[in-house]
Chains A and B, each alone.
Chain A
Amino acid sequence: MKVKINGQEEQLPENMTIAEMVHHKGLTPEAVVIEHNENICPREHWSETTLSADDMIEIVSFVGGG
């Protein structure tokens, strides 16, 4: 299914959960925060949140800044 991640279109397997997506991308769960369709999805809900086609996802993390 087609979703938008960080502004880019991507293909993901159907019925993928956020937890599976994070794992699939090789990301460290503790290091990222996820916004799903403009709502923050807390880490504890990742495994029960399934993605749908045309979902908008933001994956963000802390970086150096002043």
Chain B
Amino acid sequence: MEDILQIGDKRLTNRLFVGTGKFPDKAVIKDVLEQSGAEVVTVALRRVDQDSQDENILNYIPESCVLMPNTSGARNADEAVRIARLAQASGCGNWIKIEVISDNKYLLPDNSETLKATGILAKEGFVVMPYMSPDLYYAKKMVDAGAASIMPLGAPIGSNRGIKTRELVRILINEIEVPVVVDAGLGKPSEAAECMEMGCDAVLVNTAIATAKNPVLMAQAFSEAVKAGRMAFLAGTPTVQSEANASSPLTGFLRDDK
């Protein structure tokens, strides 16, 4: 039986979501997405630079991918809602990653403003994916407000520190019914695997892929790691012990014991 992640009306088979920022060359994005098999892709929305006519990033994103625009740049709920409506007007779907940040040092999301935006946009029919700081109260409120998932950070954006928030994310996995997608801070495939082993439903990776020496290979590595971690979770990881528990029989030794 296939292991499907259902979000909104999309049935996803690949649990690696990929961001498209920081790539030295947009053309690499196409290979990254095709070779990794990622099905959910984030983009940002910005004013068109009329002086340099950049090629449309959508040309590098396979049609089969689910586009998840983010509201990056928004410092409060109103700005996030404005960006979300503009993104939807592009005709590329109704998924939106709510990203509301006014802290420029750690780029931590503002849970309060994110919650406000979640409520407004969910009522307008968006598939709302809130990027948030792992807090059980806010996660529950976001779900009640109509969030399709919650996306707690693993570590600050672009920091490659791994899942520093693991204890709080574990609580969310235990208590929250919608999919939990760790987003931000994962720097290595092993860290993505750890998220999946814990029971995360998916992970979003951008910097670690885009800034790798070989982004396509790194994206494939992340995709395999996500699959391995998910398989381990489904297989049931054994309990952790402090003392040893022998793997080979304790009888029939080739000696005479007293």
- A64-B43, A64-B57, A66-B70 in contact; A42/B89 too (CB < 8 A)? yes
By the criterion CB–CB under 8 Å, are A61 and B46 in contact?
Answer: yes
B46, B54, B91 interface centre (most CB from chain A within 10 Å): B46
Most buried by B among A28, A32, A62: A62
Q: Which residues of A contact B199 (CB under 8 A)?
A: none
Residues of A in contact (CB 8 Å), total 24
Q: Which residues of B contact A40 (CB under 8 A)?
A: 85-86, 89
Closest residue to B58 on the A side, CB-wise?
A62
Question: Is B22 a contact of A64 with CB atoms below 8 Å?
Answer: yes
**Would you call B53 and A66 a contact (CB within 8 A)?**
no
* 27 residue pairs from A and B, CB less than 8 Å apart: A7-B47, A26-B53, A33-B89, A40-B85, A40-B86, A40-B89, A59-B48, A60-B45, A60-B46, A60-B48, A61-B48, A61-B90, A62-B43, A62-B44, A62-B45, A62-B87, A62-B90, A63-B43, A64-B19, A64-B22, A64-B23, A64-B26, A65-B44, A66-B44, A66-B70, A66-B184, A66-B206
